[in-house]
Chains A and B, each alone.
Chain A
Amino acid sequence: MIKKFDKKDEESGSGSNPFQHLEKSAVLQEARIFNETPINPRRCLHILTKIIYLLNQGEHFGTTEATEAFFAMTRLFQSNDQTLRRMCYLTIKEMANISEDVIIVTSSLTKDMTGKEDVYRGPAIRALCRITDTTMLQAIERYMKQAIVDKVPSVSSSALVSSLHMVKMSFDVVKRWVNEAQEAASSDNIMVQYHALGLLYHLRKNDRLAVTKMLNKFTKSGLKSPFAYCMMIRIASKLLEETEGGHDSPLFDFIESCLRNKHEMVVYEAASAIVHMPNCTARELAPAVSVLQLFCSSPKAALRYAAVRTLNKVAMKHPSAVTACNLDLENLITDSNRSIATLAITTLLKTGSESSVDRLMKQISSFVSEISDEFKVVVVQAISALCQKYPRKHSVMMNFLSNMLRDDGGFEYKRAIVDCIISIIEENPESKETGLAHLCEFIEDCEHTVLATKILHLLGKEGPRTPTPSKYIRFIFNRVVLESEAVRAAAVSALAKFGAQNDDLLPSVLVLMKRCMMDSDDEVRDRATFYMNVLQQKQKALNAAYIFNGLSVSVPGLEKSLHQYTLEPSEKPFDMKTVPLATAPITEQKTEIAPVATSKLPEKLAPCRQDIYQEQLAAIPEFQALGPLFKSSEPVQLTEAETEYVVRCIKHAFTNHMIFQFDCTNTLNDQLLQRVLVQMEPSEAYEVLNYVPAPSLPYSQPGSCYSLVRLPEDDPTAVSCTFSCTMKYLVRDCDPNTGEPDDDGYDDEYVLEDLEVTVADHIQKVLKPNFGAAWDEIGDDNEKEETFALATVRTLDEAVNNIISFLGMQPCERSDKVPENKNSHVLFLAGVFRGGHDVLVRARLALADGVTMQVTVRSTDENVVDVILASVG
């Protein structure tokens, strides 16, 4: 089988590699011998191989030269050399997108596909489908149908897989081959079964009923192919997810039965499917975990890897379910495959006890430099989780993290470490100084601008409040001297915060600021000048407003308002209060992602939810005169989950009005609803001004209707109200299959649950990074204080959560976390009331029998203070 090339080629190919130093032009020159008669199969074969090799190396072929070579190649169909013909098919496939007029070979390929040579038929089908478009496909439809049910497996498989590729392009044509695919699915050949199942699923996936039937049929008849079983498990778990079927359904039983399959591939697929199911109980997990446990001691690295990776995922949700495997995982710590060892250790860190932490950390630091960045991130995430679980271990962790920070690594890895250190600092006040020291050391030599600015910001926030703030100044000022513009600007802002908060440092900060004013970059100079002037005033209120607590408006909103302002020049100065506020930064969700391709996703700055609503509402003419959108609430369900119509409401607050947006979904496939609106009956002095109905609501396509309500003007304290809601609409019955409605319909109505408007709907959350400064800034002009007894509340935690959710304000200074074993706590809340009035709440809580609460409210508007106190009482 080893081929000897022609002598000439042997010599020209330098030494061992005949393909080294291939010149595209020379090869194309050689391709001229395709036109010689008689055809020399051996030489032609060698040249085709060279062409494909070049394409494979990423060599670029121009359209003209590719077309020329392609046309010369078509002549080779005259030769009957098997290998040569097969290479022609490959060339066709490789050149399908580069050369022009590739369809010229259609007839030759059709001939081969229906011919007697079985060796040709499969590859010919695949090549043919590669160059075929929808119109041509119909011409060969007959042959494709025959090929799908052909008794030669390679032909049948090729036809099925090619059909699958073409589903994307010509779904309607391929759909007609469903019967043939069905027949192929009962083939004896395992690959044909697999391919037929895949094609059938793709053709039917939009029809849940058909998929269920298909699955039932195959689970009963039993397939031989392990690949097909894996596919069925995936289909079954997808169905389970969609139907939210309970775990007593036959689908779940099927997946569980696959745990006893004789192929490891199927067993693993089933175990992984069960683990990934949402809301799986520990009991249901147990069989899956025990097969994974067996796999942990497999001699195959891939299987061990798969098992421990899946166990790692289980451990995130159900650490107790994995503890049974701890012994097996311990054995994997020393695995020669570092990925497996890392996963084993991080799993153990999640399931193990506090006493084993030190040992595991020591083990992991012995080889952390050998593993890839992806796994280092996994390690850091595990540590981060561990710190939350065992706060007392933070010194061990901090040491370890700082060592990792010194090692080489990519951006993602460093960011994970920095995030982890920051979260430890926030959780454990006693670790603050060491943590900040490590971070200071890190930014001395940090190539990532984003991280450096982030750390500088943190230093500015936390540094001034440490016992010895002066030691951070040096680190920060070093940045001003050495780094890029963005970092220098961040360093200037951080310096300003030190100056504003520490009077004894102020003179030195001012000196440093003066030097920054000579910077070469505009932004740095501007910031330095600005802060310099603010600091020289030595006024607490100014410091608070311009140095500690920055703007709280939404940036896209500000951009839009400013643009609007420049379009319509007016005498009035631009009013900051007309700009919609930024929705409070949702505390970073600690999603524990497996090391997937997160780093590759482009990080888009998605417009936040409220900006989207703002756009949508502004597009409705009735709502244009209302001013900027102040706040949009979370959706409230107004129906039970399983009813004919599903309605949820979003409350949009404006300065003097509210809009209620009702998102309605019609779940009856035999009805078309038209002119849908929700009638509202207020309990208080609210006045319903206008309804904007949804014109039409077909089956399962959500639509929105709106109600506009004016808030009572004479009584600003009337902030809460209950509305009774009724949905009114015109019903037209329609054919469930075609969706064709009857000509006439009838009016009907549907009673919804009552809708409550509470004080939280009028307040937007705003984070004040320095609450104390903001508190002083507002001053005590409108301060009121009252004491309440919360008799029903038993713990401080519960009280804190109740207050936050009731007032809808942003907890500041991490005061929403109540330290353990304390009898008293102070909660700081900040927000902006409708109309743009800042409001701050300080709630002192004391735990005796019930919880006693002393609430102090400050605001720029007196009414707001009354509203808050009245609603708390």
Chain B
Amino acid sequence: MDTLILEPSLYTVKAVLIMDNDGERMYAKYYDDTYPTVKEQKAFEKNIFNKTHRTDSEIALLEGLTVVYKSNIDLYFYVIGSSHENELMLMSVLNCLFDSLSQMLRKNVEKRALLENMEGLFLAVDEIVDGGVILESDPQQVVHRVALRGDDVPLTEQTVTQVLQSAKEQIKWSLLR
């Protein structure tokens, strides 16, 4: 029996993955060198997808790593950590990711909506995990910080203010140099 006691560390998450229902990578972020090359990453993703996409059982152990997952319509969300990691911590990351996206996409968590909001996804993951450390676990906070602005400003008006703004910026910029 391994009595190894883990080095206490904030580095909890090894990877965050999102795949579509064909197992294609929608989003993948690896935080350490478990899978250094794209080839190994894709092989790992394929393995994960094959093992998980038919069951809705939330947690699995694959290639010596703990994988927590969740699926919705045509998307599969995965959070991966060491097999010694506290499974509930990984779960809280997964839930935070899913709930944040759900709010940002107005409960419309599916492939098409996500593709139209890829920047929102990028920013949200960036707010949840930073280099493997859990940065935030409260979806409200994440949504607040991502602060995606909607289309409330009319297009023409925006362009006018924009021109003025950028002109101002330009002057400032040239002064700074």
Interface 1/0s, chain B 120-156, versus A by CB < 8 A?
1011001100110111110001000111111100000
Chain B nearest CB: distance from A677 CB in Å? Answer: 37
Interface 1/0s, chain A 117-128, versus B by CB < 8 A?
001001100100
- B-side contacts of A276, CB under 8 Å: 3-5
Chain B nearest CB: distance from A20 CB in Å? Answer: 9
Which residue in chain A gives the minimum CB-CB distance to B88? Answer: A265
- A-side contacts of B29, CB under 8 Å: 56
Q: Is the CB of A268 within 8 A of B88?
A: yes
Any chain B CB within 8 A of the CB of A18? yes
Q: Could you say which of A52, A158, A231, A241 contacts B135, with CB atoms under 8 Å apart? A: A158
Q: Given A227-B134, A302-B88, are A598 and B61 also a contact pair (CB < 8 Å)?
A: no
- A-side contacts of B118, CB under 8 Å: 19, 49, 52-53
Q: Given A164-B133, A339-B57, A372-B61, are A231 and B89 also a contact pair (CB < 8 Å)?
A: no
Q: Is the CB of B57 within 8 A of A58?
A: no
Q: Is the CB of A594 within 8 A of B2?
A: yes
Q: Is the CB of A1 within 8 A of B104?
A: yes
A278-B5 Cα distance, complex, nearest whole Å: 9
A55-B147 Cα distance, complex, nearest whole Å: 24
Any chain A CB within 8 A of the CB of B116? yes
- B-side contacts of A162, CB under 8 Å: 130
Q: Given A302-B59, A306-B87, A338-B57, are A80 and B169 also a contact pair (CB < 8 Å)?
A: yes
A787-B154 Cα distance, complex, nearest whole Å: 107
A200-B112 Cα distance, complex, nearest whole Å: 43
Overall SS of chain A's interface:
helix
Q: Given A302-B68, A597-B63, A600-B63, are A3 and B116 also a contact pair (CB < 8 Å)?
A: yes
- A-side contacts of B141, CB under 8 Å: 153-154
Which residue in chain B gives the minimum CB-CB distance to A48? Answer: B119
Chain A nearest CB: distance from B39 CB in Å? Answer: 9
Question: Which of A190-198, A679-687, A762-770, A817-825 forms part of the interface with chain B?
Answer: A190-198
- A-side contacts of B159, CB under 8 Å: 38
Chain A nearest CB: distance from B24 CB in Å? Answer: 9
Any chain B CB within 8 A of the CB of A813? no
Q: Given A79-B169, A90-B126, are A157 and B135 also a contact pair (CB < 8 Å)?
A: yes
Q: Is the CB of B123 within 8 A of A90?
A: yes
Chain B nearest CB: distance from A10 CB in Å? Answer: 10
Which residue in chain B gives the minimum CB-CB distance to A57? Answer: B25
Q: Given A83-B148, A338-B55, are A231 and B1 also a contact pair (CB < 8 Å)?
A: no
A4-B127 Cα distance, complex, nearest whole Å: 24
Q: Is the CB of B57 within 8 A of A161?
A: no
Task: Give residues 580-612 of A contacting B (CB, 8 Å).
Answer: 591-600
Q: Could you say which of B1, B106, B112 contacts A1, with CB atoms under 8 Å apart? A: B106
Any chain A CB within 8 A of the CB of B72? no
Q: Given A79-B169, A83-B149, A154-B145, are A305 and B64 also a contact pair (CB < 8 Å)?
A: no
Task: Give residues 294-349 of A contacting B (CB, 8 Å).
Answer: 300-303, 305-306, 313, 316-317, 336-340
Which residue in chain B gives the minimum CB-CB distance to A199? Answer: B10
Q: Could you say which of B88, B106, B145, B165 contacts A264, with CB atoms under 8 Å apart? A: B88
Which residue in chain B gives the minimum CB-CB distance to A370? Answer: B55
Q: Could you say which of A38, A53, A301, A303 contacts B166, with CB atoms under 8 Å apart? A: A38
- A-side contacts of B87, CB under 8 Å: 268, 302-303, 305-306
Any chain B CB within 8 A of the CB of A498? no
- B-side contacts of A566, CB under 8 Å: none
Q: By the criterion of a CB under 8 Å from any partner CB, how many residues of chain A are at the interface?
A: 93
Q: Is the CB of A80 within 8 A of B64?
A: no
Q: Given A1-B104, A82-B147, A265-B92, are A194 and B10 also a contact pair (CB < 8 Å)?
A: yes
Any chain A CB within 8 A of the CB of B46? no
A3-B149 Cα distance, complex, nearest whole Å: 9
Q: Is the CB of B38 within 8 A of A58?
A: yes
Q: Could you say which of A78, A158, A238 contacts B130, with CB atoms under 8 Å apart? A: A158
A315-B30 Cα distance, complex, nearest whole Å: 34
Q: Given A1-B150, A49-B118, A302-B88, are A375 and B10 also a contact pair (CB < 8 Å)?
A: no
Q: Is the CB of B64 within 8 A of A3?
A: no
Any chain A CB within 8 A of the CB of B111? yes
Which residue in chain A gives the minimum CB-CB distance to B123? Answer: A86
Any chain B CB within 8 A of the CB of A387? no
A358-B55 Cα distance, complex, nearest whole Å: 28
A123-B145 Cα distance, complex, nearest whole Å: 10
Q: Given A198-B10, A302-B87, A596-B64, are A2 and B166 also a contact pair (CB < 8 Å)?
A: no
Q: Could you say which of B1, B83, B91 contacts A595, with CB atoms under 8 Å apart? A: B83
Q: Can you list 25 residue pairs at the A/B interface with Cβ under 8 Å? A: A19-B115, A38-B167, A56-B25, A58-B38, A82-B147, A83-B119, A83-B147, A83-B149, A162-B130, A164-B10, A191-B135, A191-B136, A201-B8, A231-B8, A234-B5, A237-B5, A238-B7, A302-B59, A302-B91, A303-B88, A372-B62, A374-B62, A592-B1, A598-B64, A599-B64
* 5 nearest A-B pairs in the assembled complex, by CB-CB distance: A597-B64, A58-B38, A337-B57, A198-B10, A234-B8
Given contacts A302-B68, A594-B1, 18 further A-B contacts (CB under 8 A): A2-B106, A16-B112, A17-B111, A17-B115, A38-B162, A56-B122, A79-B165, A80-B165, A158-B135, A161-B130, A234-B5, A238-B8, A302-B87, A305-B87, A338-B57, A339-B60, A597-B83, A599-B64
